[in-house]
Structure 1
Amino acid sequence: MQKIHTQKHYHHNRRQLKPESTRLLGVAVAGLISGALLISLYLRAPLFCGGAPADPRAEENGTAAAAQSAAQVEAIVHYATSRIVPQQSHAEIGVSVGVLNSLGGSANLLVFGLGHDSLMWAAINPRGKTLFLEEDPKWVQTVLKHAPGLRADTVRYRTRLSEADELLRRHYGGEPDCAAAKSFLRGNDKCRLALNMLPEEVYATEWDMIMVDAPRGYFPEAPGRMAAIYSAAVMGRNRRRSGATHVFVHDVDRRVERMYAEAFLCKKNLVTAVGRLWHFQIPAAADLGGGFC
């Protein structure tokens, strides 16, 4: 998830729109507006409603539709007036959007990272739950000041990127509480890869989609994405609802992201690879063997 240049961010550079891209921006904005209209039609709710509903249930539905439309319009205005481009490419974003569409725009979506593209994810999941987990409390305050409708919580990581090899090759193999057969997160103090102090809502929710695009993982002292990837795998294995858990890992061109995705999400579960994004479908533990892979 991308942050503005004046904040700590996950990538070395932000991408600005070039002057010759103005026409392309217009096309993109038109596409966003068209997308909002299509979503509105799909939800059987107009973007701008008039007249009183016929019954209380219709009134409730109308209120929900109005809130959805407001979120979509907010996203359109945000991206139409911003010069910062989301860090994921059009093709990469399309993979996640396709899965969201298949779930009817009502998924439980957990996103590691809060940034410039957060309004987009919330807007295209209008009837679902979208929650962002961010490492930097000040950055959460900055984003929510401008987008108070987003839902975000702060996460404390117990790892550093410089520890990635030791955590995988020594700690994971030698700590029983990290093992796949026993895998759990809440209160798991012994396994350093387990995110053991997340908000209770995270543990109580069956997540349909988990996106790992944070925390920072491009310098030795950064938390790295090892614990986020491991914890996403545990959530998928422990799913009780029917269906697989969709896990998306961005920046798989980097060694650690690729190494941990292969170790815990498994190449056999990889269904799509586009650009720097991998999409996995994780079966519940009942459908798996003894290990993660």
Structure 2
Amino acid sequence: MPPEVPHYRSSVTPLVRFSPSVSPETQLNQLYRHKCWRGETNMNFSAKKLIPFLVLILSIISVLRLVRISITTTSYSLHPLPASPPLGDSCSNSSSSTKFQSKKSSSMSTTALQKKEYQLLSNLISQRSPCNLLIFGLEPEYLSLSSINAGGKTIILEDDGTKISTMTSDSNATRIYKVDYEVPAKEAYNLLKHARETPVCAPSSKQLQVSKCQLALKHLPQEVYELKWDVVVVDGPSGDKLEAPGRMAAIYTASMLARNGNTTDVLVHDVDRTIEKWFSWEFLCDENLVSSKGKLWNFRITDHINSSKFCLAEAVTIV
């Protein structure tokens, strides 16, 4: 008998593995998930590409808006608002108002009064009216001040003959005189030193008409020296250029005339300029300043005819 051969069972795992059978529904689900995953990837990729384009479009829109704003601003600046009508002046029709405003804007001087400055003056004249009013400088607003000073006396001193010929007053109590100012504004420094070093310029000196002080105005109408003034306004001569007549002598003379009265209000315009500021401090004094509006200072002077100094405080040293 042949020998018995025992049954042999290998312990090695076969190389080929058989997966269990998959149902059709499961296969469809797997295919759908695969397609969805690919679609999400494409969408994310497309969104990343769109971001730079969106940024570019927004930047272009912003630039266009800035250009539009700049064009609009330029158009407004090229068409300024018309100037307001002069104080105290009323017009019967719009056409005459337009002509007057265009002429006024082309020839308006730098000394024109602001509304609040004129209000300060008109209120003061109303309170002290009827009074003696002296004005250095001729402007349309000052003619209306003379009408407020009903019953009083108003004298206006002007060096510009053209202004005098074009402006007249209806009041018999208002007189306009032509005067001459010979000293240019560039001499202000030397005149201030002269006034400090020369005793003849002191407030206790002799009358202005015979004064030897270089700042004294000695050729004004006689009634200017004779009257006791209640209000004096210094807004002339122009003093807007070095070669033009300055207001040094007008401020000094106003301070001397004010000390001949009981109580005199002296108002100086354009105090934002060096000469007007220096000479106001020197001869009208900071302690006498009672009010101000814009570029207009109001000093109230009492009788100090026997005093050897204009101000109680020490003057500012100049070198």
Give the TM-score range, shorter chain: 0.5 to 0.7
Which residue number in structure 2 is paired with residue 88 of structure 1?
113
Verify: 1:249 aligned to 2:273, yes or no.
no
Distance in 2 between residues matched to 1:148 and 1:123, nearest whole Å: 8
Indicate which of 257, 275, 283 corresponds to 2:294: 275
Which residue number in structure 2 is paired with residue 143 of structure 1?
167
1:114/1:132 contact within 8 Å kept: yes
2:125/2:145 contact within 8 Å kept: no
Partner-residue secondary structure (3-state), 1:152: strand
Indicate which of 180, 201, 207 corresponds to 2:203: 180
Which residue number in structure 2 is paired with residue 291 of structure 1?
309
Please state how far the C-alpha of 1:115 moved relative to its aligned partner: 2.1
The one-letter amino acid paired with 1:292 is F
Verify: 1:200 aligned to 2:222, yes or no.
yes
Please state how far the C-alpha of 1:172 moved relative to its aligned partner: 1.0
Distance in 1 between residues matched to 2:307 and 2:210, nearest whole Å: 24
Please state how far the C-alpha of 1:218 moved relative to its aligned partner: 1.1
Write out aligned runs for 1:22-61 (5 A).
Answer: none
Partner-residue secondary structure (3-state), 2:157: strand
Partner-residue secondary structure (3-state), 1:166: helix
Indicate which of 261, 270, 283 corresponds to 1:264: 283
Higher relative contact order, chain-length normalized (CA < 8 Å, sep 6+): 1
Distance in 2 between residues matched to 1:148 and 1:187, nearest whole Å: 34
The one-letter amino acid paired with 2:242 is P
Verify: 1:111 aligned to 2:129, yes or no.
no
After superposition, the CA RMSD in angstroms is: 2.5
1:132/1:153 contact within 8 Å kept: yes
Distance in 2 between residues matched to 1:184 and 1:278, nearest whole Å: 26
Partner-residue secondary structure (3-state), 1:285: coil
1:251/1:257 contact within 8 Å kept: yes
Distance in 2 between residues matched to 1:183 and 1:210, nearest whole Å: 20
The one-letter amino acid paired with 2:153 is K
Please state how far the C-alpha of 1:148 moved relative to its aligned partner: 5.9
1:158/1:192 contact within 8 Å kept: no
Distance in 2 between residues matched to 1:216 and 1:235, nearest whole Å: 21
Indicate which of 183, 187, 193 corresponds to 1:163: 187
The one-letter amino acid paired with 1:291 is K
Verify: 1:131 aligned to 2:149, yes or no.
no
More displaced 10-residue stretch of structure 1: 120-129 or 198-207: 120-129
* Per-residue Cα deviation, 1:141-173 (whole angstroms, up to 9, x for no partner): 2323xx46552001122321000001001x112
Distance in 1 between residues matched to 2:243 and 2:82, nearest whole Å: 38
Aligned residues: 218
* Per-residue Cα deviation, 1:161-195 (whole angstroms, up to 9, x for no partner): 000001001x112333212221531132x211101
1:107/1:209 contact within 8 Å kept: yes
More displaced 10-residue stretch of structure 1: 250-259 or 86-95: 86-95
In structure 2, relative to structure 1, the CA distance for the partners of 1:20 and 1:165 (3 Å cut) is closer
Indicate which of 99, 116, 123 corresponds to 2:124: 99
* Per-residue Cα deviation, 1:66-102 (whole angstroms, up to 9, x for no partner): xxxxxxxxx6569x95423881111111111221121
1:159/1:193 contact within 8 Å kept: no
Max radius of gyration: which structure? 2
Distance in 2 between residues matched to 1:76 and 1:199, nearest whole Å: 33
Which residue number in structure 2 is paired with residue 235 of structure 1?
257
Alignment gaps of 5+ in structure 2: 1-79, 312-319
Distance in 2 between residues matched to 1:272 and 1:236, nearest whole Å: 17
1:183/1:234 contact within 8 Å kept: no
Distance in 2 between residues matched to 1:126 and 1:106, nearest whole Å: 6
In structure 2, relative to structure 1, the CA distance for the partners of 1:119 and 1:77 (3 Å cut) is farther
More displaced 10-residue stretch of structure 1: 150-159 or 197-206: 150-159
The one-letter amino acid paired with 1:210 is V
The one-letter amino acid paired with 2:165 is Q
